[in-house]
Structure 1
Amino acid sequence: MGVAWLFLGLCIWSKQSYGASVLDLAELVSEYEDEILGRAVGFTHQDPEPQNGGEVGHPEEVHNWDTQLELGQVAGVTTDLNDDPVVFHRGPVVWDMNSFTPDNKLSGQDQPPIPVDTILTIDQFTGKVKSGKGANLFYMPHGIYIDQDRNTWVTDVGLHQVMMFPPDSDVPSLVLGERFVPGSDKQHFCKPAAVAVSKSGNVYVADGYCNQRIVVFDIKGRYLTEIKGDWTIVHSIVLFEEEDTVCVADREGEKISCVGAGLNHPQFMGARILDIPNLGRVYGIAGRGTALVGVTGQGSTPPHGITIDLADEGRVVDTWGSELQNPHLMAVSREGDTIYVTEIGPNRVRKFDVVAPQDNIFNQEM
């Protein structure tokens, strides 16, 4: 793709700057001990002053890339191991004010599931559908994630369930949650929104619209624990495994929060690392290198994309995507050179190439 195309690992994500990173666990341990001694843990945050100083890869939209796609409400997107985007859409079903009862139960439980393929793999270059599956399984698709073993994880907010599909399978081998039953205990979710999976097999479920928590399972679906924070709607999550950190898009809280993931240091699971407030309604987040990218929807700010450098105390270093209308969730390619953003009304998948110097925060390590 040429030297000019920078990995979304934008200069933010480089291990060369790991010692200065806000996600340095040695520093976190020290700060956590300070908290136990009575001093506050956290990082000083000032209101962001967006800038693009040349070391940050800047996402530029590839116009008309998705014009051949016919999609319903496009809820989620991820990338497979070939870096093709995989979307999760709702076909003819629309989430509106009548979709759920006041107690968060799906109104159309007596209706058949969505009859079309809801999980579509799209060619990263042509924008054409390569394959599809998921017909007659889902009621209200939301989040999607493909792990390192090519398993596909999805959430359905109508079913209140999380499902895992093995590679090349049309049938889920693991289902978490009780069908159509919302709840807040170890066996139930309430409109789960997203999933992230570690290489070691920890499954982090953003739960979600009602419960304001992250629920953690092992790869077999056995409940491990939950993480709670000062969150309103846990709409999207991203895992920075090497830094033992999970970040949350708190949509209505208009902030991003990063806490300990507990992979290498279980005692620090849920420990506050960083809050980035006053961002607007953050719908989706994704990450690569030291770069944390997000999209904001209609609210206190117009819809747009943001790039945050986690190695620089969560500073907003770039804004982009001024033509976004109603962004929902997003993904970063595994090479870090492309961002995909889903939109609901218009029902689209928008592609952004990351243009940057060869050494930028999308390919840096912390």
Structure 2
Amino acid sequence: MRLACSILLLATAALSQPQREVVPDWPKLSEGHVLGLCAGVGVDAQNRVFVFHRSGRKWSNPFPKDAILQPTVSVFDGASGKLLSTWGENRFIMPHGLTVDHEGNLWLTDVGLHQVFKCTPAGKVLLTLGEAGVPSADHAHFNLPTDVAVLRDGSFYVSDGYKNTRVIKFSADGKFEFEWGTKGKGNGEFNLPHGIALDAQGRVIVCDRENERLQLFDARGAFISAWKGPQIGKPYGVATAPDGHVFIIDGGSPSLKPELRGKAVELDASGIVIDTFGSFGAAPGQFQLGHDIAIGPDGAAYVAEGTGARVQKFVRKK
């Protein structure tokens, strides 16, 4: 069944024309407002778009010890692209994942601090997990955590990420419940779990980035299936829509020709490609290392871009 699904994915992607187009001149940035690498993006029920960005800071090894002085969270009006507010200055070292939960709170991961934060939309910290600057693999620490997915009851999953190659489940108040995953290529194993989301069926969907696949699990971490192939590429970020569709941003697999890299993909709940939009490049509607994707309440898709240092909005063609 999985093999047949993979073949269908290839055929569907090859035959379809993009159903979405980029919105020009979105967002509206004030002069001197630097986003830098846009690592995470999310949208709340009020159609506010939250972007977690590095404000010009570059990825380095080792990471800097000092926090970024400029704001690292920018909030835009989804409809107009107007900049509404900023916050996060002098707080984060290396911004990564951003998730908006069902109550409108933000969940942020910082791979430099090895921490996960739950914040209000205005930036007040409600919950902190992990110890600042201390990486580890026990139940109280992370090692470069990448993303968060939150259930309606407030419990949540963290993809812990670059080093620990695992997914951890926590209660709503941050107590460890269970974990799964280790480094490898087998079912339930990971090579950099980079993005994570939940769908309407309660499945946990993980971007197994360096294995170039999506893995799907039940709520307890039992493996269900894996989706992979040229149409998936190298998934960096994943989001789900109320209709059960799954959206991913392909960061660009070096095993593919440039014209086949760097696209966004919409799949139905069974893994069949519905649409692909965007391509590799620097022009509007193209991506230089797409890093995260989010879906607004009106169905618009937002892509946070790494090397291109921007966020773009896509809507269905009329």
User: Which residue matches 1:294?
Assistant: 248
- Post-superposition shift, 1:67? 5.4
Q: Distance in 2 between matches of 1:67 and 1:325?
A: 20
Q: Where do 1:12-27 residues align within 5 Å?
A: none
Q: Distance in 1 between matches of 2:24 and 2:268?
A: 26
**Does the aligned pair in 1 maintain the 2:98–2:147 contact within 8 Å?**
yes
User: Which residue matches 2:205?
Assistant: 247
Q: Distance in 2 between matches of 1:292 and 1:171?
A: 30
Q: 1:333 to 1:54 in 2, by over 3 A?
A: farther
Q: Where do 1:32-181 residues align within 5 Å?
A: 45-47=5-7, 48-51=9-12, 58-66=19-27, 68=29, 70-95=34-59, 98-100=60-62, 106=63, 108-109=64-65, 111=66, 113-168=67-122, 170-181=123-134
- Post-superposition shift, 1:325? 2.2
What amino acid is aligned across from residue 218 of structure 2 in structure 1? Answer: G
User: Out of 210, 218, 228, which is 1:277 matched to?
Assistant: 228
**Does the aligned pair in 1 maintain the 2:12–2:272 contact within 8 Å?**
no
Q: Which runs of 5+ in 2 are unaligned?
A: 182-187, 280-285
> More strand per residue: 1 or 2?
2
Q: Distance in 2 between matches of 1:208 and 1:344?
A: 18
User: Which residue matches 1:318?
Assistant: 275
Residue 51 of structure 1 aligns to a residue whose secondary structure is: helix
Q: 1:198 to 1:56 in 2, by over 3 A?
A: farther
User: Which residue matches 1:36?
Assistant: none
Q: 1:167 to 1:340 in 2, by over 3 A?
A: closer
Q: Distance in 2 between matches of 1:162 and 1:124?
A: 25
Q: Distance in 2 between matches of 1:193 and 1:56?
A: 32
Residue 206 of structure 1 aligns to a residue whose secondary structure is: strand
User: Out of 247, 251, 256, which is 2:214 matched to?
Assistant: 256
**Does the aligned pair in 1 maintain the 2:144–2:163 contact within 8 Å?**
yes
What amino acid is aligned across from residue 172 of structure 1 in structure 2? Answer: V
Residue 252 of structure 1 aligns to a residue whose secondary structure is: helix
Q: Distance in 2 between matches of 1:50 and 1:195?
A: 32
Residue 12 of structure 2 aligns to a residue whose secondary structure is: coil
What amino acid is aligned across from residue 46 of structure 1 in structure 2? Answer: S
**Does the aligned pair in 2 maintain the 1:50–1:319 contact within 8 Å?**
no
**Does the aligned pair in 1 maintain the 2:6–2:228 contact within 8 Å?**
no
What amino acid is aligned across from residue 260 of structure 1 in structure 2? Answer: D
User: Which residue matches 1:341?
Assistant: 303
**Does the aligned pair in 2 maintain the 1:51–1:316 contact within 8 Å?**
yes
**Does the aligned pair in 1 maintain the 2:291–2:305 contact within 8 Å?**
yes
Runs of 4+, deviation exceeding 6 Å: 52-57
Q: 1:287 to 1:144 in 2, by over 3 A?
A: same
Larger radius of gyration: 1
1:79-105: CA deviation from partner (whole Å, max 9, x where unpaired): 02211210001113111xx332xxxxx
TM-score (norm 2): 0.86
- Post-superposition shift, 1:167? 4.7
Q: 1:94 to 1:53 in 2, by over 3 A?
A: closer
Q: Which runs of 5+ in 1 are unaligned?
A: 1-21, 23-41, 101-105, 262-268, 357-366
Question: How much identity, in percent, do the aligned residues show?
Answer: 34
**Does the aligned pair in 2 maintain the 1:50–1:318 contact within 8 Å?**
no
Q: Distance in 2 between matches of 1:307 and 1:68?
A: 28
1:166-201: CA deviation from partner (whole Å, max 9, x where unpaired): 354x33121101111111110111111111111111
What amino acid is aligned across from residue 155 of structure 1 in structure 2? Answer: T
Question: Alpha carbon RMSD of aligned pairs, Å?
Answer: 2.3
- Post-superposition shift, 1:155? 0.3
- Post-superposition shift, 1:43? 7.8
Q: Distance in 2 between matches of 1:89 and 1:198?
A: 25
**Does the aligned pair in 1 maintain the 2:196–2:204 contact within 8 Å?**
yes
